Structure 1
Amino acid sequence: MEKGKLGSAIRQARIANNLTQEVLAEIVGITPTHLKHIESEHRKPSIDVLFALASSLHFSLDSLFLAEEPSAEREQYYKEIYLLLHDCSTKELRALLAAARELTKQS
């Protein structure tokens, strides 16, 4: 994995979830200083902390390790879609998921 990618992904996900470092650190069970060092890549998280961060921030570790680097334009689409999904009801999410599955079948 490219240096800085993990810390950057954690920071972006934290901001997208409207969490401060202090709040996220409390959720995960680490100190805010430790989280700051993880985001700045001065420290690497343990496996347990990494999974707790991914779970708390709702992001896939697979996307960090396996996916190719998305373009800036694609990344902006991801962010916008992610923010819009937070306002959807369960019924709306089901409909969007079905639509997305249909769209990807045509690719």
Structure 2
Amino acid sequence: MQYDINLKIMSQRIKESRLKLGLTQEQLAEIVNLSVPHLSKVENGHKGLSLDTAAKLANALDFSIDYLVQESAGNSRRVFHSEMNYIVADCTEEELSKLLKLIRTCKEIIRE
């Protein structure tokens, strides 16, 4: 199986996740033991990551490495599930119930 790393998508996911958690670049860089300029280059898509750094970022930002690096069409379901898990991770049971109802309704509308 071949994986093509899309730095633009990877960098967007890192930045969005950092902001969602309310972390500054300085705070995240300290957590994962990177320099702020290095993290900035990663978030801007100008620099890739080692596997070790990707794992540290995934742990710090509470997502899987799959979510960070997979983008090929053959893995779209896995990426979808990973992204959905990330999106609903902080939801209450009531919110999850409402989201499920919305998804079912949207699916019906799409299939009409």
TM-score by length of 1: 0.63
Q: Percent identity?
A: 31
Equivalent residue letter for 2:37:
T
Cα RMSD of the aligned pairs, angstroms, is 3.7
What is residue 104 of structure 1 aligned with on the other side? none
What's the CA shift for 1:34? Answer: 0.5
CA distance in 2, matches of 1:40, 1:2: 12
Whether 1:24 and 2:31 are equivalent positions in the alignment is no
What is residue 59 of structure 1 aligned with on the other side? 63
Equivalent residue letter for 1:65:
Q
Q: Which SS does the other structure have where 2:30 is aligned?
A: helix
CA distance in 1, matches of 2:30, 2:15: 15
Q: 1:54 to 1:79 in 2, by over 3 A?
A: closer
What's the CA shift for 1:19? Answer: 0.3
The unaligned stretches of length 5 or more in structure 1 are 101-107
Q: How many residues align?
A: 89
Whether 1:50 and 2:57 are equivalent positions in the alignment is no
Whether 1:15 and 2:19 are equivalent positions in the alignment is yes
Whether 1:81 and 2:88 are equivalent positions in the alignment is yes
What's the CA shift for 1:79? Answer: 7.2
What's the CA shift for 1:3? Answer: 4.0
What's the CA shift for 1:12? Answer: 0.7
CA distance in 1, matches of 2:19, 2:34: 18
What is residue 108 of structure 2 aligned with on the other side? none
TM-score by length of 2: 0.61
